Structure 1
Amino acid sequence: MESFKTDIDIKKLVIAIVVMAVVFIAGYGFIEDKSKKDDIPTKEKILETYPIFEAINKLAPEKFEEFYEMISSASNDPGKITKKEIELKAFSLTRAWFDNNIGRLLKISSDEAANEFGKHTVNFISTTINSDPTGLYCFNMLYPGVIGTPDISRFNRDFKDFPFKRNYLNSIADSIEKNIEIDRLPVEQVLEAISKINDKLVEKYGENYYVEDPRESAKKPSLECNTRLDTYKYILELEPHLSAEVIRYINSPE
């Protein structure tokens, strides 16, 4: 099996941004429950209530300001924009921010924080698949707009009790603040681990498990989501430092 092709295939299986939809769900309650003008949440209240916003404020204060402006604007005039429009806009904003930054953040995060990101990813994808084994629900979170839009209402229900406190993004923010020195492994060792994971995926799903074009993978949404889920499960079975290095590698900027 060609190692470089293996590397590319696994790299494109990364599940970076979809978990960031949680950022929006955490804050959307303010719009839904406190939409009256005299009850607009303050920045301090949001930061105090939802630690994930605290993490974003540490990592990218300007992005938190953007989120807050959207929340407060919707609260000021809830009739100006529909709930669904707010949901999709927030999902798009968090997705874009995370796509642009996750590689950089993981590169300077501790092993513990990187692995926490991996565990969070597994929990997130597992929940969407358990909710809808067809994979459509999960697929629409991965590729919004290809065959449908994210079902945020369902997402709200499924993740009502999802752990927001001190989650992976807080771990990333806290470890970056500590400026922890990372012992980087040789890239050959990381690629060897990735190649073995690819072998497991091929054994389970067949050689054609990976499809690059989302419009084609949309024909088998369950396969797309389950291979992404298993990728991270296999990674987390590795020795902790190696698993963290693999997570950093597959999420590294192009």
Structure 2
Amino acid sequence: MGSAHRAWLEPMRENYLNSGLTLSDLSVRVCLAKSKISELLRGTGLYPRWEIIFSLSVELKMPYAPLYRLWRQAAFEAHKSREWVERSSERAALTTTHAAPPLDHRAFRELVEYDYIHYAQVFLLDADQCDTVVSDTFDILWLCWNEALASPDTRRYAWHVLRATVMSRTPHLDGRPELGRAAFDTVALSSLSADADRMEQVAETLELFTAMSRLPDQQLDVMVLRRLCGVTDEDVATLLGLPLATVRSDERHAVHFLESVLCPQPDTEQTETEGITS
């Protein structure tokens, strides 16, 4: 199951678990065998047609516009043809065109979308992919908006959704996200003219980003936003839904780690011993 499939399936599964309905209830309401609904909710079997997903969304009271966009994207990821997608959704497709997210969801998107895109650009390869991932993030949030509002901090909930969506599309090496592309997009590199200087700076920057990728997730996010996206520490705290003191502490610890990796200090005791023996 691909990341786009999980993007709509996990909210649907969560809505089912919270609905109080049984598989038998759904089976009667959508005219589909319990075994087929169980397969669908577990993400097994054949990729489901939209008309089935739409019927379930009605019973589970899920907004169908974001669900349809995520379902469609996952269908292509599952190598379904455009003809299959259109054919399997033609009966219900018109219902997806006249829907808007809740007002507070739209307001939240206006506040954070710019910074979300900048964060995604650090990890992803092109602008279209960044736009898709951020749009997917807001569609997932729309599907889970009530849960996000009920969480201890909506901003923190939303950031976890963004991060998971970005990381699902980010190349990884040894389990850690690759940051190499960001090395070629920094202001420092673009301002260099001498080839030798440029190559030396590239090598140093690649080394820095390799070290950054080893940071714990929260420290990595803080450093990406602070040092690569130019976001103030106050705005980082707002974006991540964290206390300002936590953001500053994370940045200090991250800088200390990077300095220890990139500029290791010689062991004092070993240096003194070598001095005595010489």
With the length of structure 1 as denominator, give the TM-score of the two structures.
0.28
Greater Rg over alpha carbons, structure: 2
With the length of structure 2 as denominator, give the TM-score of the two structures.
0.27
Q: Which has the higher contact order (CA 8 A, sep 6+)?
A: 1
